[in-house]
Structure formats: structure tokens, C-alpha cells
Amino acid sequence: MTEPLFREDPYLKSCDAMVLSAGVEGICVDRTVFYAMGGGQPGDTGKIVRANGDAIRITDTRKAADSSAILHIPDGTKPLPEAGETVQMSIDWERRHRFMRMHSCMHLLCAVIPAPVTGGSISDGRGRLDFDLPEPPDKEQITTRLNALIEEDRQRRLRWITDEEMAQQPELVRTMSVQPPSGSGRVRLVEFDGIDLQPCGGTHVASTGEIGAVRIAKIEKKGKHNRRVIVEFVDN
């Protein structure tokens, strides 16, 4: 098992860890600050530094097939560490922070457009959500409302409920294509004060003001009842 330190504190940039196993499929450690790809958010990149000073470049982070461990994918240019070895883990923070900002913005977009979400993804500098909507929403109106919520600088809070409590509140789930991260006995809820509350395992900023100005880049028709809304940072 890998302890995901980012789940409680997404602002951790590095940590020491013990190697549990290492192979071409990835390096597994007992604790990590690296977010594993999931929920539309890409996996972190960064480096693992061994005691001898070798820096192993990590090009992606994924969950193991049974989701019990987090695998850090090496670029293959350096020898792998051995089980039991202590290493230092460091993420590419600026990249991660852009994902945090955009992921939080996607939660605000859910509040601005009150329709079921059929899909979504986050990339560097932009994100998109697909909504079950017969008609396209107004591009300028959404941009204005999103930026207003960002400027209000509402605080983000985390809380946990049991799997049973989650099952009793299906209305909390906004994304039809992605199931909430349950199965461990409890589910993490991400709340932006007075704006949005939903289950999510991703990394988020501490308050909406940290997101920065955004704009709706495009609204696309992806089916009779499916509209794709693409958001990007103004400072791209």
C-alpha cells in the first residue's frame, strides 16, 4: 500500500519514502506526494533521488491494477532503486499547481452549469467538461460567472463520509462517467464554500482566488444532448 500524502495536503512538494518494489512497470514506495492519474487529472511528473545522488526522472504516475499502490514511471535512463532503500520524492510543482487550479475551476463550472456531466479531462493550461444539454450555454455569460466566483475567493474544505453515506446521497455525484473514489470505507468530499460540494480524489487549491482569470475557449456540440465546454487560463 502507498500512503497518498497529497490527499490531505496537496501543497506538499516533496517527501522521503521507502522503496517497496521497483521494475519497468514503475517504482512503488510506502508514501508519496505524486498524484496518480485519475478523475480526469493527469499523473504527476518529477524525480526520485537516491542516497547516492542519482536522480531518476519520473514521466508519469499511475495506480496499480488493483489500485492498492501508486506506480511512479521512470524514464529508463538510470538504474532503479532497490526495495528497502530510502529515497526523496519531488514533484514538478508548477505543473501540478496548474492542474490544481484547473481542477478546482472544473468544480466551479459544475456550479455554473447545473446539468449532468458526461465526461471531462484536464490538461496543462486548459480543461473541459461535457454536459448533458440539448442547447449550448452562453459562452460570455459562463465566462463572467466563472470569474466572479473565482474573484470571491471562496475557501476549499475537505471532509470524509462513509461509503454507506455516499450511497445514500447519489445527488452529490455530478459526473456520470466517473464513479466516486469509494471502496476503502470512506469517500472524500471537496467543498468550495457556498458554491460546490462533490466527491473527488483530485488535488485542489485552497481557495478559488488562486485559480486566476479564465475564459471559455470553445463550446462544441458532441451529440444531440452533449455540449463540451472548454476552459483555459487567461495567462496561458
Domains observed in the chain: 3-91 (2.40.30.130), 96-233 (3.30.980.10)
Q: Write the CA distances from 228 to 3, 39, 120, 125, 231, integer angstroms.
A: 35, 17, 9, 17, 10
For residue 56, the model assigns a pLDDT of 98
- Alpha-carbon distance of 133 to 223, in angstroms, equals 9
For residue 167, the model assigns a pLDDT of 78
For residue 223, the model assigns a pLDDT of 81
Give the residue among 81, 85, 83, 61 at the shortest CA–CA distance from 73. Answer: 61
Query: Tens digit of pLDDT per residue, the chain (236 long)?
Result: 899 999 999 999 999 999 999 998 999 999 999 999 998 999 999 999 999 999 999 999 999 887 779 999 999 999 999 999 999 999 999 999 999 999 999 999 999 998 999 999 999 999 999 999 988 899 999 999 999 999 999 999 998 888 888 777 777 776 655 555 555 678 889 999 999 998 889 999 999 999 999 999 999 998 888 999 999 999 86
Residues 105, 109, 113, CA angle at the centre, nearest 5°?
175
- Alpha-carbon distance of 56 to 48, in angstroms, equals 5
